[in-house]
Structure 1
Amino acid sequence: MNLKTNKINSANVIASGTIALKDLENKIVKIATRLSKTLKIDGFRKGKVPLALVRSRYQDNIKQDAQREAIQDMLQAALKELNIAAQQVIGDPIITKFNENTDDIDVEIKISLIPEINLDNIEQCIPEVKLPKITQKDIDARAEDIAKREAPLINAAKTKKLENGDSAVFDFEGFVDNKAFEGGKAENFELVIGSGQFIPGFEDSMLGMKAGEEKDIKVTFPENYQAKHLAGKEAVFKIKLHTIKVRDKVELNDDLAKKFMPQNPEATLKDFMAEVEKQLQFEAKTRLYNEELKEKLVENFLKNLVFDLPDLIVEQEMDLLFRNSLGTLNAEELKAIQESVEKAREKRESFRDDAQKSVRVTFIVDSLAKQKGIVVQDNEVFQTLYYEAMMMGKNPEEVIEYYKNNNLFPAIKMAMIEDRVLHHLLDSKIDSGKKPDSKSETVQKSKKTTKKKDVE
């Protein structure tokens, strides 16, 4: 085997050479011999099938196996010549040339390697972190809001006008084209005004009503409404408001603290307020990171950490971005790409810069995660998907099955690792010297559910 290696840069290698047909023939004989000892063919005992018959019947498969072995030999020889460990290879090497000649086969293989990244100056990439100050006014307002949500509902005075945040008990019946529709009627229905539980315009139209008042309101169902026979239709709802309920006042004291912190039977109001402050600090930090600092940190990565990228991985990312973009095109754009190879190539090429940035960040994050010992377990990915599915009102098992079937788990895990790495780096620069505890006690909040009708 004639072999020539060309290390283009630290992340890309091209190995080229020739495979002599006589060497390929030797491999074919060895493979056919192995097969002859295991094949079962009618008229022959196991292990006694003639070699000529095996080669004749399975010649295409045997030839392909022999070629794969020869290419693998070339690949291993190239890595050995360049002193590259197999673990450094990333992705599957690509055969860029395979020309069969009279006496040999010209072969060229492109190999991608895990890039070498110098993280010595990573501290210079981390932006300054100044957390917003949490004031006593903020703490008091949050504590009162938490207490208010847990306060019992009481009937308001008859003179009170309905406001956002009030709970209304009322009867309603909806009509489209002067005809009542199924699911559009209820009695003594309880609704928190401003919750957005009903279609747009419904709750706003009730504002200002008093207990005992009746009113007709006009609304339009959204075009994408779940009940197709109502989508986009104008409707009139006849409403009778029976009662307005408001939250009773709750005093902030030690008893309230014990209620909200059942895990601490000795909790005091001071403990409760300290817990509220921790929550506000964590929320403020999370907003700052997500809305500003994580983006700055990634920009600094791209600007300051320069290294060679494996071409094959960049090409794979371009393919992914290109495929994902097709779903966003209008019919005319999609048709143009489908009918023109050149336009399809141009569209794909337009994603090269984004693909390079994405691949670069992924390798940086992966290196940092290994350096810092940051990992995400598979069960954490399952828990995240389960929780998000629940929040979106979807079946968690179906969502998880979808991610499994489409091999999306690695992408979710990588996104979670990236988030943890970026948070870890930013936490190291918090100027207060005291990091908000993301695992602080959670003030317990009860949630009440309300039955939904077709009108929602």
Structure 2
Amino acid sequence: MSQTQTWEKLEGNEGTLTINVPAKEFDKALDEAFKKVSKDVQVPGFRKGKLPRQMFEQRFGVESLYQDALDVILPHAYGKAVEETGINPVDQPEVEVEKIEKGEDLVLKMTVTVEPEVKLGDYKGLEAEKVDTDVTDADVDEQIEAMVAQYADLVVKEEGEVVEGDIVNLDFEGLLNDEPFEGGKAEGHELEIGSGQFIPGFEEQLIGLKTGDEKDLDITFPEEYHAEELAGKPVVFKVKINEIKQKETPEFNDAFVKEELEGFDADTAEGVRESIKKDLEAEKKEEADFKMKESLVSQAADNAEIDVPEAMVSTEQDRMLQEFEQRLSQQGLNLELYEQLTGQGADAMREQMKEDALKRVRTGLTLSAIAEAEGITVDESDVDNEINKLAEQFNMPTEDIKKVLGDLSVLKADVMNQKAIDFLVENQK
């Protein structure tokens, strides 16, 4: 006799999974539990690990093996039951032991939260707002100005006032209730006006000052400032302007292109303009395509009726926090250091991510439902094509990509979602 199981759907996203494990299998689990436990049992007259099973049960009772036997049998029994019933759990089950006795069938009753049913609304014939993809001369000029600014020289401003964009060398000291506070003093600090490096109000009050000027700046720290003793507090910064430097940018012409832009795919100013325009056009079209798809997916998800389990949102929050940690590590930071710098810990970040996490879950469920409704499938060639793209993108052999990915189920789900999105695009107004 083999294991049997029944699934009873309850209200919402929960159901009861009842598993009957044959006595023979349960007895095997008891044997494994005894082997594990007996290694550490010391009884006078017997070497450790050599106590006979019968004597162990007489002394400690067979019930002392039940929990370890459950630990042995539960993962396999639960996995098999899930596969046999075809349910899709989204959280760890609550396990209740209905019957447990040596020589008898083991009966387990589990409360399981499963993936919710999706009642699709309108998803065909949706309409996405048209995004302007035209590139103007002003767009190109802005890019050129930013590029040329990288080659600017800093020149001391002998006369004149501080204006936005200047680099100011200054001394400052902050006072809270006429007393200096920690971290509020510096000498010879260089600050670009308009960079937003300092708290709001500081840089703005330096505009109009001249070299040698001194001034008291009245500043109020933001309420959310990471240093609690300063958050929301009014302070005075005593500042002195030591030196003002201004940026002198070179003229954008053929000579500049030949001297500074060696290796660029154009050797004249007009050629560079055309190249930048083409790049901007490609970027705008890509951005418009992304926004169009995002709009269609968002509409389809909003039109669907889904009772999203809290467990799925929590799992997505964990995933988003992990993604954020990975981005921090690429910058040489970690969550602990980030919290010291910003005053924002992991719990606060998870809470901020909750709304986006819910949106992600709703989107994924909607796309899966659309794929099922439209008979969209993913075959081996689809997966191979995606792996080949990744191999080309990261300049790695396909076998190495497969090793990095390991389980391909996530990749398959991504491909399925993309096919569902393509369906929305093909069937929009």
Equivalent in the alignment of 2:139? 138
Deviation at 1:139, TM superposition (A): 0.4
Deviation at 1:138, TM superposition (A): 1.6
- 2:315 is aligned with 1:316: no
Unaligned 5+ residue runs, structure 2?
A: 319-353, 394-409
SS at structure 2 position matched to 1:202 = coil
Change (3 A) 1:219 1:280: farther
**Count of residues in correspondence between the two structures:** 349
Percentage identity across paired residues of the two chains: 22
* Alignment partners' CA distance in 2, 1:182 and 1:79: 59
Equivalent in the alignment of 1:165? 165
User: Any conservation in 2 of the 1:314–1:355 contact (CA below 8 Å)?
Assistant: no
Change (3 A) 1:117 1:198: closer
Alpha-carbon deviations, 1:219-252, whole Å to 9, x = none?
A: 235163749589825325253x455433224221
Equivalent in the alignment of 2:55? 53
Matches within 5 A, 1:284-303: 284=284, 294=294, 296-303=296-303
SS at structure 2 position matched to 1:361 = helix
Change (3 A) 1:36 1:137: closer
Equivalent in the alignment of 2:276? 276
* Alignment partners' CA distance in 2, 1:353 and 1:215: 48
Matches within 5 A, 1:353-364: 358-363=360-365
* Alignment partners' CA distance in 2, 1:175 and 1:32: 68
Alpha-carbon deviations, 1:186-225, whole Å to 9, x = none?
A: 665543222233343332222223445x342332351637
Change (3 A) 1:14 1:260: farther
Change (3 A) 1:52 1:196: same
Equivalent in the alignment of 2:66? 63
TM-score, length of structure 1 as denominator length: 0.53
Change (3 A) 1:262 1:65: farther
Matches within 5 A, 1:118-129: 127=128
User: Any conservation in 1 of the 2:293–2:421 contact (CA below 8 Å)?
Assistant: no
Alpha-carbon deviations, 1:342-386, whole Å to 9, x = none?
A: xxxxxxxxxx99987653433566898995656899xx9xxxxxx
Letter paired with 1:256: F
RMSD: 5.7
User: Any conservation in 2 of the 1:91–1:112 contact (CA below 8 Å)?
Assistant: yes
Deviation at 1:19, TM superposition (A): 5.8
User: Any conservation in 1 of the 2:164–2:207 contact (CA below 8 Å)?
Assistant: yes
Equivalent in the alignment of 2:154? 153
* Alignment partners' CA distance in 2, 1:197 and 1:72: 54
Change (3 A) 1:109 1:138: same
* Alignment partners' CA distance in 1, 2:106 and 2:63: 17
* Alignment partners' CA distance in 2, 1:423 and 1:151: 48
User: Any conservation in 2 of the 1:31–1:62 contact (CA below 8 Å)?
Assistant: no
Change (3 A) 1:156 1:301: same
Letter paired with 1:59: V
* Alignment partners' CA distance in 1, 2:116 and 2:172: 66
* Alignment partners' CA distance in 2, 1:76 and 1:179: 66
Deviation at 1:143, TM superposition (A): 0.7
User: Any conservation in 1 of the 2:174–2:181 contact (CA below 8 Å)?
Assistant: yes
User: Any conservation in 1 of the 2:135–2:281 contact (CA below 8 Å)?
Assistant: yes
Change (3 A) 1:109 1:355: farther
Letter paired with 1:140: D
Matches within 5 A, 1:30-429: 30-31=31-32, 34=35, 41=42, 43-44=45-46, 48-55=50-57, 56-57=59-60, 59-67=62-70, 75=78, 78=81, 84=86, 90=89, 94=93, 97-100=96-99, 106-110=107-111, 127=128, 130-156=131-157, 158=159, 160-170=160-170, 189-211=189-211, 214-222=213-221, 224=225, 226=227, 228=229, 232-235=233-236, 237-239=238-240, 241=241, 243-257=243-257, 261-264=261-264, 267-277=267-277, 280-281=280-281, 284=284, 294=294, 296-303=296-303, 314-317=309-312, 358-363=360-365, 371=378, 373=383
Change (3 A) 1:133 1:157: farther
SS at structure 2 position matched to 1:235 = strand
User: Any conservation in 1 of the 2:38–2:50 contact (CA below 8 Å)?
Assistant: yes
User: Any conservation in 2 of the 1:13–1:112 contact (CA below 8 Å)?
Assistant: yes
* Alignment partners' CA distance in 2, 1:258 and 1:178: 57
User: Any conservation in 1 of the 2:169–2:244 contact (CA below 8 Å)?
Assistant: yes
User: Any conservation in 2 of the 1:127–1:297 contact (CA below 8 Å)?
Assistant: no
* Alignment partners' CA distance in 2, 1:89 and 1:5: 14
TM-score, length of structure 2 as denominator length: 0.56
Alpha-carbon deviations, 1:278-315, whole Å to 9, x = none?
A: 564566568768888625523314536x89x8xxx925
Change (3 A) 1:175 1:111: closer
Change (3 A) 1:53 1:366: farther
Letter paired with 2:155: I
